[in-house]
Amino acid sequence: MAKRDYYEVLGVERGAGDGEIKSAYRKLALKHHPDRNQGDAAAEELFKEASEAYEVLSDPDKRAQYDRHGHAGVEGNFGGGGFEWSDFSHASDFQDVFGDIFDSFFGGGGRRRGASGPPRGRDLKIKVSLTLEEIMTGVEKQINLTRLEVCATCNASGAAPGAQKEACSTCGGVGQVQQVARTLFGQSMTVTACPTCGGEGSTVSARCSDCEGEGRVRGQTRLTVRIPAGVQEGNYIPLRGQGEAGPRGGPSGDCLVFIEEKEHDQFARDGDDIILQLPVSFSQAALGCETQVPTLQGQVVLKIPAGTQAGRVFRMARKGIPDVNGRGIGDQLVQVLLWTPQELSREEREVFEALSKLEEERVRSEGDSFFDRIRKAFS
């Protein structure tokens, strides 16, 4: 069964803001909550469908790719089997509503409240410029990254040699602290991450001197990224786990390789089609000819029939760019431009002057017959 439009799934317009999208997802998640629909497989599927839609539309980059390319634009964010619960990255945003249900679905291990563990590392974004020739065939590119990597001295623990992890003295190992505030309506209590341990619930007795307790240091690395044929400007290739390392053993972020198209000196691109403007002389257009035409695959002979008019477009099948999802190959469109010489030799001028007289007589003759036909049609 074909996937439904994500906006349709959440019941929002395409221009909906972040708050509206979040509110719509919250309502659907409450409605199809497995605890409220025990044993109802259809409800669970709707719950999962809404979660997938929210995962994409709540992320500006993923949403932009979806708006431009539909489901095909975000397939790379999920595994080969499609969206799984482990792909959902917003479980903590809804703990107040859903409680333990997200722990069981999204890998929380039954931990409802308490220490959250080290945070995830930052995602990195890098741009790679490709020629149309590289886009047509696909290509491997080497990229250099400067990023925070695991500290080799403490193996990401942030602790000095011989130091031990201890329960945080501020939160008692819970990872959270309660704050009470007095308002006009009485006292209010909020729960926030512990400022001492950052929500991890533990500290070290002595910090690693190389990373100053962060568990990561700045380093450089070189990665190879395989870019498939048919990508477009703005597409990106996610390299999972190749972003910055998280502090003190936290999971690494991703590296997102964004595609840029280099401007070509001969061709323009329109989707999977390639456009070429071909200068043709007056005599070639009038008499017809065969001419060599450049394509991304090499030179090809194109037959220009006699009487070709300026602006005519010839379609060369399968000389364009492959669809990124393997759904065919585009064409090359060749638009005829009438080439006019800026300078003429004496012989050329004589020929053109003679031709001009012939053309003038022919235009006058054909023009008269044309107006005669018009008068007869309305008489």
Could you give the CA distance from residue 27 to residue 11 in angstroms, rounded to a whole number? Answer: 10
CATH 1.10.10.10 fits 267-340, yes or no: no
Q: Is the pTM of this model over 0.75?
A: no
**pLDDT tens digits along 120-166:** 899 999 999 999 999 999 999 999 999 999 999 999 999 999 998 88
Tokens of 66: 């979806």
What average pLDDT is seen over the chain?
85
Query: What is residue 110's predicted lDDT score, i.e. its pLDDT?
Result: 38
Task: Compute the radius of gyration of the chain from its Cα atoms.
Answer: 33
**pLDDT tens digits along 256-272:** 999 999 999 999 999 99
Those residues with Cβ within 8 angstroms of residue 275's Cβ, 6 or more apart along the chain or in another chain: 267, 268, 269, 332, 333, 335
For the domain made up of 1-112, give the CATH fold. Helix Hairpins (1.10.287)
Query: What is residue 117's predicted lDDT score, i.e. its pLDDT?
Result: 73
Write out the H or E segment, with its range, that includes residue 146.
strand 139-150
Residue 51 one-letter amino acid:
S
Half-sphere exposure of 65 (CA within 13 A, CB side): 24
Centre a 10 Å sphere on the Cβ of residue 32 and count the other Cβ atoms it contains. 20
**pLDDT tens digits along 48-70:** 899 999 999 999 889 988 888 88
Strand duo 332-339 + 313-316: pairing: antiparallel
The residue extents of the domains of the chain are: 1-112, 114-146+219-263, 267-340, 348-379
CATH architecture of the domain 114-146+219-263 equals Sandwich (2.60)
In the predicted structure, residue 96 carries a pLDDT above the cut 50? no
In the predicted structure, residue 277 carries a pLDDT above the cut 60? yes
Higher model confidence: residue 109 or residue 89?
89
In the predicted structure, residue 109 carries a pLDDT above the cut 70? no
> DSSP secondary-structure letter at 98?
H
pLDDT band of 217, cuts 50, 70, 90: very high
Report whether 242 contacts 223 (CB < 8 A). Answer: yes
Tokens of 300: 């090809």
pLDDT band of 202, cuts 50, 70, 90: confident
Tokens of 95: 């703990």
Q: Comparing 1-112 with 267-340, is the CATH topology the same?
A: no
Q: Order of strands across the sheet with 255-261?
A: 124-130, 255-261, 236-239
